[in-house]
């Protein structure tokens, strides 16, 4: 697989988001199967793996650490701090916590769970309104100086927050929701990333599975799956938003591809420093997603997607708003 750069950090042009193994989408597969899929991602060329302390909490980092141990030196591991988690028990206390002392203790826990000496990319998971971003950036700068972290990232920040953080500790990557049905980063965040030389990592690049074309108004969603409570996954919203999937199907048919591959190829075509991190529990779906790297969309394809996609009024609040109510179990 080809590589791209997030700032100065080189990674595979498509990464792998491992939150799917944290039961967020309902019951997750067993440990052995999860490890098989994660290692399969590496065998298929993925060198960029994304996790977070709150996925579980803690259990996802333990899983990822075990799965990538045989090839740890050949990959980039990204994880995240920022939710108020009891660092001894893993219990979520609700809300956010990016106090510098908490960040540093949380990082020590991440290193142990991942069984690594240094975190390649450490994100603040959500901006904490009670802690100045300069203090957050300063704490990560200290961790970088100590050799515990290599690169600093932010998830779901605003433009002003990015500028303020970057002035204290250069930001390597911004991770925010971005896809054909969530285009919020386009007006301000993407231009700012280009200006400052920051990479961009779209999470939920397939709209939590909706853009694959495998979910319709009749699809039953497990009550334990967070999508059961997401405004975009009501039956009415799914019917209204199906116009985007219809568009992807048309383009995919012309190129001998799948809707998921076209959705990911569209993201890759936006900027050379965009690296999506689709997640899946199945190795065959993983291989399908990675096939997007071989899909070359023409100027006509991109123009059609832009015109029709922009005209579709997506129904339902975006996933990030629903995710704020999650426990990430």
Hunting for tokens 């799948």 — which residue is that?
A: 258
**What is the per-residue pLDDT for 321?**
57
Q: What is the pTM of this model?
A: 0.95
329 has pLDDT over 50: no
Selecting among 25, 55, 123, 328, the annotated active-site residue is 55
User: Whose CA is closest to 78, among 160, 184, 153?
Assistant: 153
Within a domain: 329:
no
| Catalytic residue status for 328 | no
Do 135 and 120 touch, CB atoms closer than 8 A?
Answer: no
Burial class (CB in 10 A: 0-12, 13-18, 19+), 303: exposed
- Nearest alpha carbon to residue 46 among 20, 12, 6: 12
Q: How does pLDDT run across 8-35, given as a tens digit for each residue?
A: 999 999 999 999 998 777 778 899 999 9
Segment 159-167 shows an average pLDDT of: 98
Count of the separate structural domains present in the chain: 1
Query: What CATH code is carried by the domain that includes residue 52?
Result: 3.20.20.100
Inside any domain, residue 20: yes
Whether 294 is in a domain gets the answer yes
Within a domain: 328: no
* Residue 94 backbone class (left: φ over 0; alpha: ψ -120 to 50; beta: rest): left
Mean pLDDT confidence for 76-86: 97
Q: What is the pLDDT of residue 327?
A: 40
- Residue 129 CB coordination number (10 Å): 9
Which structural domain, as residue segments, surrounds residue 209? 3-323
């Amino acid at each position: 697989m080809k590589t791209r750069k997030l700032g100065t950090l080189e990674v595979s042009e498509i990464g792998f988001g491992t939150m799917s193994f944290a039961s967020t989408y309902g019951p997750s597969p067993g440990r052995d199967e999860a490890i098989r899929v994660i290692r399969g991602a590496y065998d298929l060329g993925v060198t960029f793996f994304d996790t977070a302390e709150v996925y579980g909490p803690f259990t996802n980092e333990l899983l990822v650490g075990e799965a990538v141990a045989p090839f740890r030196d050949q990959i980039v591991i990204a994880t995240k701090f920022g939710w108020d988690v009891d660092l001894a028990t893993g219990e979520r206390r609700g809300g956010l916590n990016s106090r510098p002392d908490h960040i540093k203790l949380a990082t020590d826990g991440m290193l142990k769970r991942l069984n690594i000496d240094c975190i390649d990319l450490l994100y603040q998971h959500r901006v904490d309104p009670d802690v100045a971003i300069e203090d957050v950036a300063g704490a990560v700068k200290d961790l970088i100086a100590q050799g515990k972290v290599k690169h600093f990232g932010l998830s779901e920040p605003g433009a002003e927050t990015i500028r303020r953080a970057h002035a204290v500790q250069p930001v390597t990557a911004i991770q925010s929701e971005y896809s054909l049905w969530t285009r919020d980063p386009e007006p301000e965040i993407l231009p700012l990333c280009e200006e400052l030389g920051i990479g961009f990592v779209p999470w939920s690049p397939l709209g939590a599975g909706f853009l694959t074309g495998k979910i319709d108004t009749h699809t039953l969603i497990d009550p334990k799956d967070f999508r059961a409570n997401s405004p975009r996954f009501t039956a009415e919203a799914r019917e209204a938003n199906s116009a985007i999937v219809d568009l992807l199907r048309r383009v995919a048919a012309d190129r001998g591809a799948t809707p998921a591959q076209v959705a990911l190829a569209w993201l890759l075509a936006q900027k050379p420093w965009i690296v999506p991190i689709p997640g899946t529990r199945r190795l065959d779906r993983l291989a399908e997603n990675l096939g997007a790297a071989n899909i070359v969309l023409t100027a006509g394809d991109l123009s059609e997607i832009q015109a029709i996609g922009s005209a579709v009024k997506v129904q339902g609040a975006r996933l990030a708003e629903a995710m704020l109510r999650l426990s990430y179990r």
